[in-house]
């Protein structure tokens, strides 16, 4: 079984690449972030023609998450229970479902913007709500994983130059403590570092030749429980999909399971 996560940075802009990627990789379940569309604009029909079901939590031009599966989608939960909300209400940042033998979440953790910005406090509160929501499944015996754009680099080695991030979000002790607390529910990072290269970054800014110069960050993560992690046979960052015209600024992260 092949499960992946991909921040597509607009599913409308990325649709031809997305459909081609699904077809060429044989991915069974894809967790998508930053759909940047309404639910009505989501390409349900195009995905169905490829043999995929889909569910989406999206409200407009910002944020948005989805699950795409060819092994079934059941027991869907849209949104994050206990979501603290931002500026008057919850944002479309989480969706979960049972896909075949595994239970999965697709999450798009708030960016945080700046350390002294209200969005940073919201980010930490959102992590607390996520931890509470997944704790039961994380400790269970069914394969379970939380996949997505966490907007946190777990270690200093997960950014191209830590000296450039002083005082910035994504690397602060509080954000990393929130990640550690999430892992303490029974989850582990199932994409080891290093992989086939020294720095398996997953995001590169479009500006200043970020990708050609490999000025990246590893912020797209797959955290699985013991049953999920024990079934992992391979994992990789698909850097090829970050190349060329019309690419997202994130690359897909792929995990192969023996389940």
Catalytic residues: 108, 149, 250
- Is 249 part of any known ligand binding site? yes
* Crossing angle between the packed helical segments 118-138 and 173-183, to the nearest 10 degrees: 10
**Contacts within 8 Å (CB) and 24+ apart, 130-137:** 130/80, 130/94, 130/182, 131/178, 131/181, 131/182, 131/185, 132/81, 132/82, 133/80, 133/81, 133/82, 133/94, 134/105, 134/182, 134/185, 134/187, 135/185, 135/186, 137/103, 137/225
Q: Beta partners for 129? A: none
- Is 119 part of any known ligand binding site? no
- Is 128 part of any known ligand binding site? no
Contacts of residue 51, defined as CB under 8 A and 6 or more positions apart, other chains included, come to 70
- Is 137 part of any known ligand binding site? no
- Is 214 part of any known ligand binding site? no
Q: How far is CA 25 from CA 2, 46, 234, in A?
A: 9, 17, 14
What CA–CA distance (Å, rounded) separates 63 from 30?
Answer: 17
- Is 75 part of any known ligand binding site? no
Residues that constitute the known binding site for Mg(2+): 7, 34, 149, 151, 249-250
Question: From the annotation, which residues make up the binding site?
Answer: 7, 34, 149, 151, 249-250
């Amino acid at each position: 079984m092949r499960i992946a996560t991909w921040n597509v940075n607009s599913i409308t802009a990325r649709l031809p690449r997305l459909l081609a990627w699904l077809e060429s990789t044989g991915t069974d379940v894809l967790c998508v972030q930053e759909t940047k569309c309404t639910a009505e604009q989501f390409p349900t029909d195009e995905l169905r023609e490829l043999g995929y079901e889909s569910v989406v939590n999206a409200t407009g031009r910002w944020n948005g998450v989805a699950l795409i599966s060819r092994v079934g989608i059941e027991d869907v939960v849209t949104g994050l229970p206990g979501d603290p909300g931002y500026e008057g209400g919850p944002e479309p940042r989480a969706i979960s479902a049972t896909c075949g033998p595994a239970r999965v979440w697709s999450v798009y953790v708030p960016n945080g913007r700046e350390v002294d910005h209200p969005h940073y406090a919201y980010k930490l509160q959102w992590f607390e709500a996520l931890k509470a929501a997944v704790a039961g499944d994380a400790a269970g015996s069914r394969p379970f994983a939380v996949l997505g754009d966490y907007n946190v680099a777990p270690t200093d080695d997960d950014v191209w130059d830590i000296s450039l991030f002083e005082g910035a979000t994504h690397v602060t002790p509080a954000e990393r403590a929130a990640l550690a607390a999430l892992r303490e529910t029974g989850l582990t990072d199932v994409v080891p570092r290093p992989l086939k290269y020294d720095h398996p970054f997953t995001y590169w800014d479009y500006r200043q030749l970020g990708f050609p110069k490999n000025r990246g960050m590893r912020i797209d993560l797959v955290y699985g429980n013991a049953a999920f992690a024990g079934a992992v046979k391979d994992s990789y960052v698909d850097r090829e999909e970050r190349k060329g015209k019309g690419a997202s600024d994130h690359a897909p992260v792929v995990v192969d399971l023996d389940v």
